[in-house]
Structure 1
Amino acid sequence: MTHDSPRDTPLLGCIADDFTGATDLANMLVREGMRTLQTIGIPAAPVRGADAVVVALKSRTLAASDAVAQSLAALQWLREQGCRQFFFKYCSTFDSTDAGNIGPVAEALQKALGADLAIACPAFPENGRTVYRGHLFVHDTLLNESGMQNHPLTPMRDANLVRVLQRQSSGKVGLIGSVDVGRGPVAVRARMAALRKEGVTLAIADAIADKDLYTLGEACAGMPLVTGGSGLALGLPGNFRNAGMLIEDGAATRALDGLDLLPPRGVVLAGSASQATQGQVAHWLARRPALRIDPLALARGEDAVQQAIDFAQAHADQAVLIYATAVPDQVQAAQAQLGVERAGHLVEQAMSSVAQRLYAHGVARLVVAGGETSGAVVQALDVRALRIGPQIDPGVPATLAVDADGGPLCALALKSGNFGTVDFFEKALRALGAAH
Structure 2
Amino acid sequence: MDTKLTTPQIVVIADDFTGGNDAGVSLACTGLRVDVAFELPYHGNADVLVVNSDSRALAARHAASRIEALVHDCYSNPHQLLLKKIDSTLRGNPGAELEAMMLSTGKQLAIVAPAFPDAGRTTVQGQCLINGVPVTETEFASDPKTPVASADIGLLLQAQTTIPCQSMSLSQFSHRLNQYASDGPEIWVVDAQTDGCLDTIATQALAQKERPLLVGSAGICQALARQHVNTSPRCLLAMVGSMSEVAQRQIATVCRNARAESLVIDIENVLCGSPTHYLQQIINILSSGRHCIVHTCPDREARHRIPGLCARWQLTRPQLGEKVCHFLGTLTRQVLEAVTPDALYLSGGDVASAVAGALGARGFRITGCVAQCVPYGRFAGGLWQRPVMTKAGGFGDEATLLQVLNFIEER
Q: Give TM-score scaled by structure 1 length.
A: 0.48
Shift of 1:404: 8.5
- The partner residue of 1:111 within 95, 103, 108 is 103
Aligned: 1:189 with 2:177: yes
Which residue does the alignment assign to 2:188? 203
CA contact (8 A) 1:46 1:81 kept: no
1:250-305 Cα shifts (integer Å, max 9, x gaps): xxxxxxxxxxxxxxxxxxxxxxxxxxxxxxxxxxxxxxxxxxxxxxxxxxxxxxxx
Aligned: 1:20 with 2:18: yes
Which residue does the alignment assign to 2:71? 75
Hey, what's the Cα distance between the residues in 2 that align with 1:86 and 1:55? Answer: 11
Q: Give TM-score scaled by structure 2 length.
A: 0.51
Provide the secondary structure at the position in 2 that maps to 1:215. Answer: helix
How many residues get paired? 234
Which residue does the alignment assign to 1:235? 223
Change over 3 Å in CA distance of 1:28–1:56 after alignment to 2: same
- The partner residue of 1:66 within 62, 68, 71 is 62
One-letter code of the match for 2:91?
D
Change over 3 Å in CA distance of 1:174–1:82 after alignment to 2: closer
Which residue does the alignment assign to 1:124? 116
CA contact (8 A) 2:95 2:157 kept: yes
One-letter code of the match for 1:235?
A
Change over 3 Å in CA distance of 1:149–1:248 after alignment to 2: farther
CA contact (8 A) 1:84 1:224 kept: no
Change over 3 Å in CA distance of 1:203–1:247 after alignment to 2: farther
Shift of 1:115: 1.1
1:145-166 Cα shifts (integer Å, max 9, x gaps): 1111111122123211111111
Which residue does the alignment assign to 1:87? 83
CA contact (8 A) 1:113 1:225 kept: no
One-letter code of the match for 2:27?
L
Provide the secondary structure at the position in 1 that maps to 2:107. Answer: coil
One-letter code of the match for 1:168?
Q
Hey, what's the Cα distance between the residues in 1 that align with 2:100 and 2:94? Answer: 10
Aligned: 1:53 with 2:45: no
Shift of 1:35: 2.1
Change over 3 Å in CA distance of 1:84–1:140 after alignment to 2: same
CA contact (8 A) 1:104 1:169 kept: yes
RMSD: 3.2
Change over 3 Å in CA distance of 1:70–1:26 after alignment to 2: same
What does residue range 168-187 of structure 1 map to in structure 2 within 5 Å? Answer: 168-180=160-172, 186-187=174-175
One-letter code of the match for 1:236?
L
Provide the secondary structure at the position in 2 that maps to 1:220. Answer: helix
One-letter code of the match for 1:46?
H
1:208-245 Cα shifts (integer Å, max 9, x gaps): 00011111111211515211112112233455569x9x
Hey, what's the Cα distance between the residues in 1 that align with 2:115 and 2:66? Answer: 25
Shift of 1:248: 7.2
One-letter code of the match for 1:204?
V
- The partner residue of 1:162 within 150, 154, 159 is 154
Change over 3 Å in CA distance of 1:202–1:115 after alignment to 2: same
Hey, what's the Cα distance between the residues in 1 that align with 2:69 and 2:149? Answer: 31
Shift of 1:94: 0.7
What does residue range 267-416 of structure 1 map to in structure 2 within 5 Å? Answer: none
Provide the secondary structure at the position in 2 that maps to 1:144. Answer: helix
Shift of 1:80: 4.5
Structure 2 gap ranges (5+):
1-5, 236-379, 384-411
One-letter code of the match for 2:213?
L
- The partner residue of 1:214 within 192, 196, 199 is 199
Change over 3 Å in CA distance of 1:147–1:30 after alignment to 2: same
Provide the secondary structure at the position in 2 that maps to 1:236. Answer: helix
Provide the secondary structure at the position in 2 that maps to 1:61. Answer: coil
Provide the secondary structure at the position in 2 that maps to 1:93. Answer: coil
Query: Which structure would you say has the larger RCO, counting Cα contacts within 8 Å and 6 or more residues apart?
Result: 1
Change over 3 Å in CA distance of 1:149–1:35 after alignment to 2: same
CA contact (8 A) 1:89 1:227 kept: yes
Shift of 1:128: 0.4
CA contact (8 A) 1:180 1:187 kept: yes
Change over 3 Å in CA distance of 1:404–1:173 after alignment to 2: farther
Which residue does the alignment assign to 1:38? 36
Change over 3 Å in CA distance of 1:167–1:65 after alignment to 2: closer
Change over 3 Å in CA distance of 1:73–1:55 after alignment to 2: same
CA contact (8 A) 1:18 1:57 kept: yes
Which residue does the alignment assign to 2:316? none
1:20-44 Cα shifts (integer Å, max 9, x gaps): 100110112223442211112x234
Q: Percent identity?
A: 28
Change over 3 Å in CA distance of 1:95–1:235 after alignment to 2: same
Structure 1 gap ranges (5+):
1-7, 250-402, 407-436
